[in-house]
Structures are given as structure tokens and as C-alpha cells.
Amino acid sequence: MVPRNGLCVGLDLDVEKLPAPYKKQVVDLQRFGCDVVDATKDVASCYKFNLAFYEQYGRAGIDALYAIRERIGDAYVIADAKRGDIGNTSAAYAKAVFEDLQADAITVSPYMGRDSVGPFLDVQGKMVYVLALTSNPGSYDFQRRLVGETPLYELVMNTILSWPRAGDLGFVVGATNAYELAMLRTKYSDAPLLIPGIGAQGGDAEQTVAANAKGPAVFNVSRGLLYADATDSCIETIARLAREYNVAMMQ
């Protein structure tokens, strides 16, 4: 199952950044997250939870995560977990994310190879977004290294596309890599992409959408949406920006 093209609302909630109507306490993560969902549900293509933002607060953070997940209901959910370990460990991660959290998709690191990614790909009806070319500066350390004449991120994509799978397969390609994104779209026109990095990380929405060339993709905005307004009008601002982003991303 592939989410429709458009805005992915990143629910990477940070207690210290909660806007004025909310207290800077873990208990208000749930209230803010649910309000964001209510304000964006009519336009969001999907929602993305970076699990670490909830895990850092212990049980209270996990409780907030599950409460917000329940509020989302039937909308498409991506667990940004970046899992990837030996086979039985990955199978346990897959069960936790797909069965308990009831996410529709997960992000996975390919570094440990086929037996670490396979348990996620074996789950029917779920999407696995494999890290390919990320937005962070450290992507230059390994992902862009040449293997012969081929960048490592392309070797990763080619290799994983050759593996058998029961679920859907996509890749993470950061919005700060517009040139490479355009090049990848000429080679992998049908590959679903999760494109983070728009807004606070420096990715430009219009440039990224143009580079994607109408390929299947969702464009994640987190901090640039959640914390654009620190005043009492923050939810109204989030609702307005979500609509503007979504219109741009559906072009």
C-alpha cells in the first residue's frame, strides 16, 4: 500500500519547543500532537512518527505516542524507526511496529544487508522505506562514496530492488539533494520515495517537487510546520501551512 502523493506531517514532538498554549511538560505532548492531527487530517497524505522523540521521555512519551496514533485513526502512518539488525531482531522490530503500533510503513537501515531488511519486506501490505540518500551532512561519509563508478546509495537501491518481497518497497531520499533526486527519478521513475528535509533542514518545497518529476512520493515537513508559530494561534497557523504545503506537493 503506497500513500498518495502529498504532504507527510512529521510528528517529531519536542517538549522544549511546544508553543504557548501548551505547557513544556511531557503530558502536553499528547494534547499538542492530537491538535496537530485534527488540524491537518483533511489534507495530510500521511503522518510520520520519529519514535526516538517519544522514547526519550520513557513511559510517558510512549503513552503519548500511542494516544496520538489512536487519534490518527485510519490515516497512513510511517514509523520513522530506522531499524536494521540481525534477522530475529528485525522480525521482532517488524512485529512491534506493524502489529502493535499498527503502522503502515517503517524506515529501515540497509547497512547489515539482506537478512536484516528481509523480515520487514516479508510482511504483506506494508511499506518499507530503505535509507538511500539522506538529508544530513553525514551522508557524505558513506552514502555518496563510489563503488567502482556507482555511488553507494545507488548500489543499495539496485541491490534491494532485486530482492523478493511480499510488501511494498520505497526509499528515503532527502530534500536537500534536489540534484540527485532529479537524477534518481530518471533511473527509478516508479520507486516510491519518502522525502524528508523540507523546511528547517534546508530543503525547498518547490525545488524538491520539481525534481521529483511527479514520481510517487510523500514530502515530510516536521519542524517547519509544528513550530512555525509559538503563539496562541499556533494550531490555526499549522492548519494553514499544511494546506499550502499540500497544494504545492500535489503539483
DSSP readout, 35-86?
HHHHHHTTT-SEEEEETHHHHTTHHHHHHHHHHHHHHHTTSEEEEEEEE--S
pLDDT exceeds 90 at position 203: no
pLDDT exceeds 70 at position 200: no
Q: Are 99 and 106 in contact (CB under 8 A)?
A: no
pLDDT of residue 143: 95
Told to judge if 23 belongs to the known catalytic residues of this protein, a careful annotator would answer no
- Could you list the residue range(s) of the whole structural domain that residue 217 is in? 6-249
The amino acid at 113: G
Average pLDDT of the residues in 235-249: 94
Active-site residue identified among 24, 41, 82, 187: 82
Residues 82-135 pLDDT 10s: 999 998 999 999 999 999 999 999 999 999 999 999 999 999 999 999 999 998
Q: Determine, yes or no, domain membership for 1.
A: no
* C-alpha to C-alpha distance for 7 and 30, rounded to whole angstroms: 21
Residues 12-34 pLDDT 10s: 999 999 999 999 899 999 999 99
Q: Determine, yes or no, domain membership for 130.
A: yes
Closest CA to 27 of 39, 10, 19, 15: 15
Q: Determine, yes or no, domain membership for 85.
A: yes
Q: Determine, yes or no, domain membership for 106.
A: yes
**Residue 40, domain CATH:** 3.20.20.70
Q: What percent of the chain has pLDDT over 70?
A: 98
- Total domains in the chain come to 1
Q: Which residue has the higher pLDDT, 44 or 3?
A: 44
Average pLDDT of the residues in 184-190: 94
pLDDT of residue 155: 96
Q: Are 250 and 6 in contact (CB under 8 A)?
A: yes
* C-alpha to C-alpha distance for 138 and 11, rounded to whole angstroms: 23
Q: What is the mean pLDDT of the chain?
A: 94
Closest CA to 78 of 192, 188, 243: 192
Q: Are 173 and 215 in contact (CB under 8 A)?
A: no
* C-alpha to C-alpha distance for 58 and 32, rounded to whole angstroms: 18
Q: Determine, yes or no, domain membership for 11.
A: yes
pLDDT of residue 204: 82
Q: Determine, yes or no, domain membership for 105.
A: yes
- What is residue 99's DSSP assignment? I
Q: Determine, yes or no, domain membership for 207.
A: yes
Q: Determine, yes or no, domain membership for 104.
A: yes
